[in-house]
Amino acid sequence: MEPIIETRDLTRRFGKLTAVDTLNISVQPGEIFGLVGPDGAGKTTTLRLLCGLIDPTSGSAHVAGFDVSKQSQSLKDQIGYMAQRFGLYSDLTVDENMTFYADLFGIVGEERERLKAQLMHMTRMEPFGARQAGRLSGGMKQKLALMCTLLHKPRILFLDEPTNGVDPVSRRDFWTILYQLLKEGITIFMATAYLDEAERCNRVGLMHKGKLIRCATPEALKQEAGQDTLEGVFIQTIRQLEGLAAFGAEHSRPGGTA
């Protein structure tokens, strides 16, 4: 099968900083792919590149067959992007927020109402349609953001730490929705800070300082590192990398022994 997301040496620099460094990732249709890494690893920048929101400095990426830098307009219809701080209008109700996002995508009339009802049902948000977004719990806010992202029926969903700060029960609810979407054939590419969530992904990419350090199924990652959990793999890998960096600095010091 042709990959639905494929990057070739994808690189993005901000001045002297390389936020994403020669990234090579390929995701199959229907997969759920999890990107993990410490703060500042380059996860958000990767998502923004894949959604065509910023241009690569070098290298390329194709999503749903479109070149993300040259065909970002055509790409927009195929993807949904739930940003790390998704823009909900706190004074508008749940229903009004959805109407606003439907308008942005040119979804109107009966079609709009049908889609809204379907999403409210799927996320079990029906009782809260008239509540102002600012008065929702953290978990419900994230569900609303997800609904707004799904209104135009994207084939690929990009989620940036969608359950950050959400309680465990609401996180489980959120995952029930993600599984439902996967069953419908949607591909999901997510950045997550939770390793138990990464464990639920088909494949996991571990990013550090812009580079993809490891990329495999959770099982393969654990086996390779001789660890029982992904958390163990993560900590071991980061320690090794940072240990090596400290070692390098030591040995390149003027007057050092190396």
What residues line the site for Mg ion (CB under 5 A)?
43-44, 84
Residue 205 engages ligand ATP in binding (rule: CB under 6 A) = no
Nearer to ligand ATP, 14 or 89 (CB): 14
Q: State the distance between the two ends of the chain, measured CA to CA, in whole angstroms.
A: 49
> Which residue of 5, 23, 33, 43 would you call a contact of ligand ATP, by CB under 6 A?
43
- Residue number with CB closer to ligand ATP (161 or 173): 161
Contact predicate 175/166, CB 8 Å:
no
Let me know the angle formed at the C-alpha of 80 by 29 and 22, rounded to the nearest 5 degrees.
65
Nearest to 149 by CA among 176, 123, 179: 123
The size of the chain, in residues, is: 258
Considering CB under 6 A, how many residues would be counted as binding ligand ATP? 12
Residue 22 binding ligand ATP, by CB under 6 A: no
Element (H, E) at 81: strand 79-82
45: partner contacted, choices Mg ion, ligand ATP, none (Cβ within 5-8 A by kind): ligand ATP
Residue 218 interacts with, from ligand ATP, Mg ion, none (CB under 5-8 Å by kind) = none
- The reply on whether position 192 binds ligand ATP by CB under 6 A is no
Query: In this complex, which beta carbon is closest to ligand ATP, that of residue 15 or of residue 255?
Result: 15
Q: Contact 154/81 with Cβ under 8 angstroms?
A: no
Among 14, 89, 179, 247, binds ligand ATP (CB under 6 A): 14
Amino acid making up residue 124: R
